[in-house]
Each structure stands twice: as structure tokens, then as C-alpha cells.
Amino acid sequence: MTSGWQSRRRLPHFDVPELIQHITFHLADSLPKSAIERMQMEIAAMPESERTLARRRRIQELLDSGLGRCVLREPACATIVQDSLLFGDGERYRLLAWVVMPNHVHVLIEQMHGWPLAKVVQSWKRHTSRQIHRLGFGIDAPDVPQDADCKSAIPGLWHPDYWDRFIRNDRHFVTAKHYIEENPVTAGLVSSAADWPWGSARLGAD
């Protein structure tokens, strides 16, 4: 198995066993091409050293604004995704934090040997797309290519790629976990993270 920097489509991914990763994947219609093009124009004048951080921040703002049909706003669909994340805990990865938002998902995991990051994300997308499709929820997004590693997934449900950031140290871990669990509050969906049913913050409140 190869590890280290991998490149799938346009996004680079750092893939190493026992690494702690913050992963974000989103629905295919949650970032329309027009919104991405507008964002790219807005950051084009920035110094190159600032663009990566600005792009990441703007994309998260776009996701939190609730673009697209937000299929995961449906409790049954959000539960399917959350159950899929929990299913692999302890066997494919260690699940450290998560939140299922209306149109995207944040996950904090520790990678395990034999389960490259792309394979883990593929398993989430494949299973959840099948189950959500059976409920009658689908996304018609013909301009978004289907992920080559997710051929068994329902076309158009998930965006082909994902973002990942490896955790550098304990401080970064605490920051990432807080960011993930507080995302529903940041997006204005609840006043307390513990009130969001599809995230790990509620477990700490029990």
C-alpha cells in the first residue's frame, strides 16, 4: 500500500496510517459552479500566500449558507450518514468527532493500517448514496462527474472529491474538534452544539 501525498483529480491528499485527519465531503449540488467561479474571482487579487486559506474559508462559508437541496436536512438521510460513520469505528479507523450538516459532513478520524483514506471515504459515499437513493432522495447534477473510486454510488449524490487536513499537534486537534462540533452553531442551525442530533458534541453532553 502506498502512503504519503496522493493526488486524486485536483485535490492533493496526505495518506498515512495512524495519522489523524480532518475530512470534509459534501453533496454534489452544494457548491454550484457559478458560486465557485465567483469565489475564485474574489480571491484572485489576493497574494498567493493568502489564497489557500481564503479559498478554504470561503468554501466553508458557502457550504454553511445552505446551497443546494440539502438532502441531509432530512432526519432519515442524516441518520444514514451518521450510522455509516459509526459503523467503521474501531475496524477501519478511530472515529474522534463528526457532524452531519444539511449539505456536507465533517469527520475527525485516526487512520488505521489497511484502510487508505480514499478507501474509507469511498465506503461512506457508496453505502450512504445507496441507502439515501432507496428513500427516494437523489440529486440531479449532470455537470458533476461521478467519482471514479465510487462507481457503485448513486451518480450525482456526492461531489467526486473530498478535503482532508492532517492534524499537526494537540492544539490543532482541539481546534479541529471544536470547529467540527460547533459547525451547526456557526451555521445558525442550533444555539448549542449538544442540541444537534447528528454530531459527536451531543455525546459529551450526556
The predicted model scores a pTM of 0.82
Dihedrals phi, psi of 90, to nearest 5 degrees: 95, -20
Q: Tell me: the pLDDT tens digits for 115-128?
A: 999 999 999 999 99
pLDDT number for residue 44 = 87
Contacts of 130 (CB under 8 A, 6+ apart): 152, 153, 154
What are the residue boundaries of the structural domains of the chain, listed by start? 14-29+71-204, 31-65
Please tell me the CATH code under which domain 14-29+71-204 is placed. Answer: 3.30.70.1290
pLDDT at 150: 36
Backbone angles phi, psi at 129, to 5 degrees: -65, -40
57-106 pLDDT, tens digit per residue, is: 889 999 999 999 999 999 999 999 999 999 999 999 999 999 999 999 99
pLDDT value, residue 12: 55
3-class DSSP state of 61: helix
Q: Which residues contact 100 (CB under 8 A, 6 or more apart)?
A: 72, 78, 81, 82, 85, 198, 199
Q: Minimal CA–CA distance to 80: which of 138, 31, 124? A: 124
Q: How far apart are CA 167 and CA 143, in angstroms?
A: 33
Do residues 101 and 85 make contact, with C-beta atoms less than 8 angstroms apart? no
The mean per-residue pLDDT over the stretch 174-194 comes to 97
**pLDDT for position 7:** 44
Residues 139-147, mean pLDDT to the nearest whole number:
42
pLDDT tens, 5-45? Answer: 344 444 456 667 789 999 999 999 998 888 888 888 888 88
pLDDT band at 1 (very low <50, low <70, confident <90, very high): very low
Please indicate whether residue 54 or residue 137 has the higher confidence score (pLDDT): 54
Please, which residues bridge with residue 107 across strands? 23, 98
Counting every residue written for the chain, the total comes to 206
Assess whether pLDDT exceeds 70 at residue 151.
no
Q: Where are the alpha helices (DSSP H) in the chain?
A: 33-43, 48-64, 75-87, 117-134, 170-186, 201-204
